[in-house]
Chain A
Amino acid sequence: MFSETIELRGHIIDSLILPKVLDQILTHGGNFKITEVQIGRKRADQSFARIEVSTETGEALDELILRLRQQGAEVMERANAQVAPAPADGVFPPEFYVTTNQQTFVRFDGKEIEVTPGIINSAIAVDRRKGSARAVKFFDVKKGDEIVVGHQGIRVVPVQRATTHTDPFQFINNIVDAEEPKSAIIREIAEELRRARGAGGRIALVAGPAIVRTGAGGHLVRLIEGGYIDRLFAGNAFAAYDVERALFGTSLGLNPDVAIARGGHENQLRAINAIRGGGGIATAVREKVLTSGVMHASVRHDVDIVLIGAIGDEGPLPGVTTDVIECEKILRDKLRDVTHVILLATLRYSLAIGAFLANNVKTVCVDIDPSAVERAVERQPLQSIGLVTDIEPFLRELADCLAS
């Protein structure tokens, strides 16, 4: 995206210069945002308008600005962003700019460069030779990297509310409470997932262990079999419970099919041991040791599995990344192309993942804890839906909607 700010002065209303300029911007493929207008009150009073003009390419912008200059538009001089070198590996220079998760542009030599990926709480490293700008975490920065400092030359573009259609993700009150009806919104979510799958979107699902423990694993398997999940993010516990359920019928010793079940705690360790001994989840599926459950369905349907470890994990299972910095790098890379994220019953991973989501990623968060839902959706305004509910009925209804 390339942009300039222009100013128009004079009798621009009576002469129809303002509408002409706006029409010209649109007919030449540009967009505009009027940032200030002052209309003259008396007949001889002149008017003023400040307009931000943007186009897809730099050439289109140059051509458009040339036309607008003929109509009296004056282009405002805009300052370039300032940079300073990183003083050491993993250290930003003082006064470094901290990103939001909104679309951000930095200006150099009169051109704007979009910061990618659009992740929150990062600094911006600039490679002027390549004409690129990227959001970097501490672990990403190397001594001498050019880092943006101050606020000059930075433009942030918040997500706009859609004006042309009704988008359930853009409701002002985007959390559906425990006492509120959920079927209609679940149908909308199903419809959105269907649209995303058809349009080549990438859907990520972040799964908490409650999915398996409440017996909702089978519903998630239906989603995977329907091709609605491209990438599965989970912790060691989720995978371990799922494998335990597949191998022994229990998860953390409980059998969801039996009304009151107790005991069998050691099943979890036995399941983990079996997978460790068998060379990992994929191998266990291939060798038909693991023949059901979410992990099995994911391997069979080529879902990209991302397992992240934590303190207190048993095992862990092979394939679980336990290095924290390594985990962050994986999350950043694996979330880069994601268009939709479903966060299910896991506050800790939901928040960790939220830190790497661009502002235009559509997010659904479901948890039985209202504060968990609130915290997960607040970072994605106008792009998220939160539901306060038990995970099992949600997944069941969603899977039913998608199957029908």
Chain B
Amino acid sequence: MDRHFRTRLEARFAAQLTGPVRQRHDETEIRIGAGDVVSVLTALHDEPDLHFQFLSDLAGVDTGEVMQVVYHLWSETTPDWLRVTADGLSRDDPRVPSVTFLWKGAEWMEREAYDMFGITFEGNRDLRRIYMPPDYQSHPLRKDFLLADDAARSPGGGVRPMERTQTPRNAPTTAIVRRTSA
């Protein structure tokens, strides 16, 4: 845990942070709004005392209440992984600026997040589905997409424990069964 890094982040991004800087094990997490993604990530990438040149991962998250886009960054200036969470995207129309202007390789990861969560990355010039077929209807990793869709309504539905844990009896198939504030 890099305590010094935490104070640096708090000083540099005081205006953009929407919550406290969290640290655990070898991870430092900051939360920002979707509108600040471009300015914060550009600063992290370009400023020589931060110098986060390496985008380790880009993930979409559906917490059941909001959508998030999570960036994991690596830099030689700190021994921690930096996790930047773009928080509070609406579940109905999640939108976030693309980071392909910094890392072109994020293009496919953003396509994946679009495919799996329906998150629109503004500025990504190739935002098509990447895994699912082009005429597919839903976004499979969203929390209102139950495996029940194709399994529990079949005659054997609810027999296998895996399906039963996800599908309360008599629940409408659009219900969100899991939420978290973690």
Are A and B a genuine interacting pair, yes or no?
A: no
Chain A residues packing against B (C-beta within 8 Å): none
